[in-house]
């Protein structure tokens, strides 16, 4: 299980989502499925410590964090 930060842009808003999944591609798919019509991209560089999820957990999305301000 891995965890990555994904930046989502939808209309005038941008935010970060933490996604846990078996692969980076699956994490991106989860974010896209939860935000139809939005643009999503993995945030690089990926930090090694939070990337590999050590505890047993389910795949899914975690915290949302707004980026910037809406116009």
d(CA 63, CA 8): 12
- What's the residue count for the chain? 71
E-strand ranges in the chain read 2-10, 13-21, 39-42, 60-67
Q: How confident is the model at residue 57 (pLDDT cuts 50, 70, 90)?
A: low
pLDDT one-digit tens code per residue, 7-51: 999 887 899 999 999 999 999 999 999 999 999 999 998 877 777
Report pLDDT for 56.
65
Average pLDDT over residues 54-65: 71
Is the model more confident about 63 or about 46? 46
Half-sphere exposure of 58 (CA within 13 A, CB side): 3
Q: How confident is the model at residue 63 (pLDDT cuts 50, 70, 90)?
A: low
Q: Where are the domains of the chain?
A: 2-67
């Amino acid at each position: 299980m891995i965890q990555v930060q994904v930046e989502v842009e939808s209309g005038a808003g941008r935010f970060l989502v933490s996604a846990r999944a078996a692969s980076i591609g699956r994490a991106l798919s989860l974010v896209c499925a939860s935000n139809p019509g939005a643009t999503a991209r993995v945030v690089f560089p990926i930090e090694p410590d939070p990337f590999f999820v050590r505890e047993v957990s389910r795949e899914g999305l975690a915290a949302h964090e707004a980026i910037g301000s809406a116009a």
